[in-house]
Amino acid sequence: MTPPSGVVDTATALVEGVLAGDRRALARAITHVEADSVTGREVLARIYPRTGRAQTVGITGSAGAGKSTLVGAIAREERKRGRTVGIVAIDPSSPFSHGAILGDRIRMQDLTADGGVFLRSMASRGNLGGLSESATGVVDVLDAAGFDVVMIETVGAGQDEVEVANAAGTTVLVANPGGGDEVQSMKAGLMEVAQVMTVNKSDLAGSDTAVTQLKALLAIANLGSWVPPILKTVARTGEGVPELVDAIDRHQAHITSSAHAAEERRAQAARQLIALARAALHREALEAASTTGALEALVDAVARRERDPRNAAVALLDAVKAQWAAQQ
């Protein structure tokens, strides 16, 4: 379907501005992408061929691990190396406005004055994986804008943040010395998507124990040709951060120059496509179920113990399929 001429004109102007380094155009383009507007989709369609050059890094881990401080420390180290940095900080959603609370922007105020850094806070909007649905699109816009490094910091939902790997070429798992039980309870899936691991706040007691626990979990993980290094950092002082950036660079070199580079790019493309399709199907299915009244009726039936949830879910899916078929 061809978008309206007004949309095409707006998208064309935004894309030209993004590629020319216009910060206002970049901010407006990201706003459209985050809103999943027709203009935003047209922008993504036009800029996608210009992507794939940035080093994309996901920073994930539980709340309190010091991810925001570490992201700031990594950004400063990258700037020392002459690289420009885009940061997508996924903040918790406000329960009132559903917008980002902007905690990361407050914590990284010193970076906002650096012309080589662009920081965008986004609301998680209740997404259990920590990444808002449009985050991958925002990463693409920053990539096309010419940033050397694009970092995605997740909201801190812990082991459920596996989806960060869908948007990042390199995923850094951040643990802390006080999270021993938490490290032990991590699902294998999270371990398998992390290419670099770091125990942050390693100046505190228990950091060596946390490293040992991570090594034990790696020993039973399903690893490929890359074995994740386990490092120790103190983001507050910058200790260990240069070594962490070196490790991220080594993984970037591995995925871009190894014999499996093309295969890994295809696997990442598959993960992104499936994740976005799943989100779209989920949204449209609930909309269709609500429109027909099937959702409310089945919820009432389950609440009254007249139907079990599993069979009710199958009935809901059947109702959605019937609604979609009727629209053909």
Mean pLDDT of 91-115: 58
Q: Is the pLDDT of residue 118 over 90?
A: yes
Residues 6+ apart with CB under 8 A from 263: none
Q: pLDDT, tens digit, for every residue of 49-90?
A: 999 899 999 998 877 888 989 999 999 999 999 999 999 988
Structure confidence at residue 129 (pLDDT): 42
> What is the number of other CB atoms lying within 10 angstroms of the CB of residue 226?
16
- Structural domain spans, the chain: 1-50, 52-258, 270-326
Residues 6+ apart with CB under 8 A from 132: 34, 90, 122, 123, 124, 125
Q: Is the pLDDT of residue 300 over 90?
A: yes
Structure confidence at residue 160 (pLDDT): 44
User: What tokens does 219 get?
Assistant: 């020993």
CA 269/CA 59 separation, integer angstroms: 19
Whole-structure pTM value: 0.83
What confidence category does residue 239 fall into, taking pLDDT thresholds of 50, 70 and 90? very high
Least confident among 180-184, 211-215, 246-250, 284-288: 180-184
Whether 219 and 184 have beta carbons less than 8 Å apart is answered as: no
Whether 299 and 267 have beta carbons less than 8 Å apart is answered as: no
Structure confidence at residue 268 (pLDDT): 79
Q: pLDDT, tens digit, for every residue of 144-153?
A: 999 999 999 8
Q: Is the pLDDT of residue 306 over 80?
A: yes
What are the φ and ψ backbone dihedral angles of 144, each rounded to 5 degrees? -65, -30
Tell me whether residue 24 is exposed, middle or buried, using C-beta atoms within 10 angstroms of its C-beta: 0 to 12, 13 to 18, 19 or more.
exposed
The share of the chain scoring above pLDDT 90, in percent, equals 45
Q: pLDDT, tens digit, for every residue of 169-180?
A: 899 999 888 755
Structure confidence at residue 189 (pLDDT): 56
Which of the four CATH numbers 3.40.50.970, 3.40.50.300, 3.90.1150.10, 3.40.50.720 does domain 52-258 have? Answer: 3.40.50.300
Nearest to 294 by CA among 326, 328, 321: 321
Q: What's the length of the chain? A: 328
What confidence category does residue 182 fall into, taking pLDDT thresholds of 50, 70 and 90? low
Q: Is the pLDDT of residue 108 over 70?
A: no
**DSSP annotation of 92:** P
- What b/e string do you get for 61-81 counting C-beta neighbours within 10 Å, with b at 16 or more? bbeebbbbbbbbbbbbbbbee
Structure confidence at residue 90 (pLDDT): 83
Q: pLDDT, tens digit, for every residue of 47-57?
A: 999 998 999 99
**DSSP annotation of 163:** G
Q: pLDDT, tens digit, for every residue of 183-209?
A: 555 555 566 678 999 999 999 998 998
